Structure 1
Amino acid sequence: MVRRKAPTKDESALLPPFAALPDQAIHVPSSDAEFEQAREALIQASVLGFDTESKPLFQVGAKDTGPHVVQFATVDAAWLLQTHHAAAQAITREILGNPRILKVGFGLDNDRHQLQGRLQVEMQNVLDLDRVFKRHGFGASTGVRAAIAMVLGQSLRKSKKVTTSNWANPRLSDSQRRYAANDAHAAAMVHAHLPAWEALQPPVQAQRPPRPPRPAVDAGNSISERRM
């Protein structure tokens, strides 16, 4: 299969900005009533964009206590569950373990490892979108930015300052809320538009099986055959 190249960061930046969710569609529950509302909305979804955020580790040997935020999103709204709340952990376990709800995201192996370690949850019905793009000839880690550029023709900009901010803070800043919501919402949007995008892609060529090794030639037989 010929390796295809995803748009670079500079190429993506030339596109119109990603149509992010409005602030009123980003929910960060903290009360019992808000957690119940979040659960009711999430449990009814058939597909959810999914991602996590963790406090960065700057010291060698520091213990990783993440993830500190778990994000779920539909194409219309996002819910940011801060895992210092017991209710957030319970909802996360329920949603990730629900085989009916498809959870979609990018580079989910690390998220899976962290969540299994902290919440002891076995994730069911999960789709890593990086693997979808790999089937179409792209690299193993296409990522959300390049996927948004290819599928939606938009530019998703990610702030390194926010990426490395303290996600364990009890109160998330506005920039953290928008950043976390974008990651999950972008995955939901890519998945929603994948069928139309895939219909326009060239046929996926199956890799040729390796050729069987040639049988070894017996030098002695070859010499005698030439003498006959």
Structure 2
Amino acid sequence: MQKTISKEALSELPLQHFEGDVVVVEDESKIEELVRELEQHSVIGFDTETKPSFQKGKVNKVALLQLATSDQGYLFRMNKTGFHPALVRLLENQDIAKIGVGIRDDLRGLNRLVPFKHAGFVELQDYVKQVGIEDTSLRKLAGLVLHFRVSKRQRLSNWEAPHLTPSQVIYAATDAWVAIELYKKLTALFPKEEVQTLSI
């Protein structure tokens, strides 16, 4: 396993994105049912998006919570639905592993909406350091471990827009899906390495 990957090597890899079904959730009344679907899985991918602030000192609230299985993406538009109690329940469930990259900031942002006690979160940046991988961004990990690259073009787009564009939907679902694919591949490559969850 390579420890690093150059920008040049990364740019030569094929571009990949999530190709499963994606549910964009803007109706609060549907959240409980969708969370029950997610609760059937022991491992899910996790990410959030926040509208970028170009004003010094101003931090916007989390606008989107992305959760994914290997073939299904769920995009919860928090700016429209609020932080539903069913989502809090899911994020506090220690029996469901929530996998992400750089998730401490995501959790801080969610805690500004509703304080909760996160449980079962796995930070892949911590995990890969244990096996000697030095490049720990989601993009570079996808290149090193999965041998494809993901687009970051939509990262600074408006996540509070009235309607998400198809490109935003694919981008957001891909980030959560890549996390779960990385986890599956890494645990297969390094089966003896202990997977630790973030402490509260």
Q: State the aligned residue count.
A: 192
Query: How far does residue 35 in structure 1 lie from its aligned partner after superposition?
Result: 2.5
Query: How far does residue 32 in structure 1 lie from its aligned partner after superposition?
Result: 5.2
Partner residue in 2 for 1:197: 189
Q: Deviations over 1:135-169 (max 9, x none)?
A: 12233x6011111112221122221xx21111112
The question of whether the paired residues in 2 share the 8 Å contact of 1:53 and 1:68 is answered with: yes
Structure 2, unaligned stretches of length 5 or more?
194-200
The question of whether the paired residues in 1 share the 8 Å contact of 2:83 and 2:113 is answered with: no
Partner residue in 2 for 1:11: 9
Distance in structure 1 (CA, Å) of the matches to 2:30 and 2:4: 40
The question of whether the paired residues in 2 share the 8 Å contact of 1:35 and 1:87 is answered with: no
- The answer to whether residue 109 in structure 2 is matched with residue 114 in structure 1 is yes
- The answer to whether residue 18 in structure 2 is matched with residue 29 in structure 1 is no
Query: How far does residue 60 in structure 1 lie from its aligned partner after superposition?
Result: 1.7
Please identify, of 93-102 and 25-34, the stretch whose mean Cα deviation from structure 2 is larger: 25-34
Note closer, same or farther for the CA distance 1:96–1:196 as it changes in structure 2 (3 Å cut). Answer: same
Distance in structure 2 (CA, Å) of the matches to 1:83 and 1:105: 18
Letter of the 1:157 counterpart: S
The question of whether the paired residues in 2 share the 8 Å contact of 1:82 and 1:88 is answered with: no
Distance in structure 2 (CA, Å) of the matches to 1:9 and 1:78: 28
Partner residue in 1 for 2:137: 143
Structure 2 residue corresponding to 1:94, chosen from 76, 89, 92: 89
The question of whether the paired residues in 2 share the 8 Å contact of 1:47 and 1:103 is answered with: yes
Report runs of 4+ in structure 1 exceeding 6 Å deviation. Answer: none
TM-score, normalised via structure 1 length: 0.76
SS in 1 for 2:56: coil
Letter of the 1:14 counterpart: E
Query: How far does residue 88 in structure 1 lie from its aligned partner after superposition?
Result: 5.0
Distance in structure 2 (CA, Å) of the matches to 1:32 and 1:195: 35
Letter of the 1:121 counterpart: F
Partner residue in 2 for 1:157: 151
Distance in structure 1 (CA, Å) of the matches to 2:84 and 2:30: 14
Query: How far does residue 15 in structure 1 lie from its aligned partner after superposition?
Result: 1.8
Structure 1, unaligned stretches of length 5 or more?
204-228
Letter of the 2:123 counterpart: D
Distance in structure 1 (CA, Å) of the matches to 2:172 and 2:120: 22
Distance in structure 2 (CA, Å) of the matches to 1:45 and 1:87: 24
The question of whether the paired residues in 2 share the 8 Å contact of 1:81 and 1:88 is answered with: no
SS in 1 for 2:113: helix
Please tell me the root mean square deviation across aligned C-alpha atoms, in Å. Answer: 2.2
Distance in structure 1 (CA, Å) of the matches to 2:61 and 2:28: 23
* Rg comparison, structure with higher value: 1
Note closer, same or farther for the CA distance 1:114–1:33 as it changes in structure 2 (3 Å cut). Answer: closer
Distance in structure 2 (CA, Å) of the matches to 1:6 and 1:163: 23
TM-score, normalised via structure 2 length: 0.86
Percent of pairs with identical residues: 29
SS in 2 for 1:142: coil
Partner residue in 2 for 1:171: 163
SS in 2 for 1:158: coil
SS in 1 for 2:79: coil
The question of whether the paired residues in 2 share the 8 Å contact of 1:47 and 1:74 is answered with: yes
Which has a greater percent of strand? 2
The question of whether the paired residues in 2 share the 8 Å contact of 1:28 and 1:81 is answered with: yes
- The answer to whether residue 70 in structure 2 is matched with residue 75 in structure 1 is yes
Distance in structure 2 (CA, Å) of the matches to 1:68 and 1:19: 21
SS in 2 for 1:75: coil
Partner residue in 1 for 2:35: 39
